[in-house]
Amino acid sequence: GIGAHLFVTAAKALSTELHVSPLLLALLIAPLATELPEMSNSFLWLYRKKDTLAVGNVTGAMVFQGTFPVSVGLIGTDWILAPNALATMGLALVAVSVSLGQLLGGGHWRPWLLGCSALLYIGFTLYLYGA
């Protein structure tokens, strides 16, 4: 729609102005912008000690956004995994494994989990910036 077109146009202009790759900006900024409503609800639920709702909200949003739009996009394109895509997939699998292990092992989210997630995100950013 029109909103998506405006977002892409603004992201391209911002990447040119900041002298960064449009891919880097799209992979780092766009997910934050699209997940912000879910994250704000999740933070509110975590504050109210309703961590099951918080995790379910984020997980549901990520599963939907990670499968449905991608599936629609893949219908009309060739699927060739570039090294950046493989690195993205690998980091996502590591992040999910760590999160699932923490949840199954302790039943609660721990501060170190946020730290590990931040390190993976920073590593991903550095990988993309260097690529």
Could you give the percent of the chain with pLDDT greater than 90? Answer: 0
- Of the listed ranges 27-31, 95-99, 118-122, the least confidently predicted one is 27-31
Which residue in 55, 9, 11 sits closest to 31, CA to CA?
A: 11
> What average pLDDT does the segment 47-64 reach?
80
- Give buried/exposed letters for 115-131 (b at 16+ CB in 10 A, else e): ebeeeeeeebeeebeee
Q: What is the overall mean pLDDT for the chain?
A: 78
Which residue in 53, 46, 62 sits closest to 113, CA to CA?
A: 46
- Show me where the domains of the chain are located: 80-131
Q: How far apart are alpha carbons 78 and 72 in whole angstroms?
A: 12
Q: How confident is the model at residue 31 (pLDDT cuts 50, 70, 90)?
A: confident
pLDDT in tens, 65-111: 777 776 776 677 777 777 777 777 787 888 788 778 877 877 777 77
Residue 114 has pLDDT above 80, yes or no: no
Assign residue 107 a region (left: φ > 0; alpha: ψ between -120 and 50; beta: otherwise): left
pLDDT value at residue 50? 85
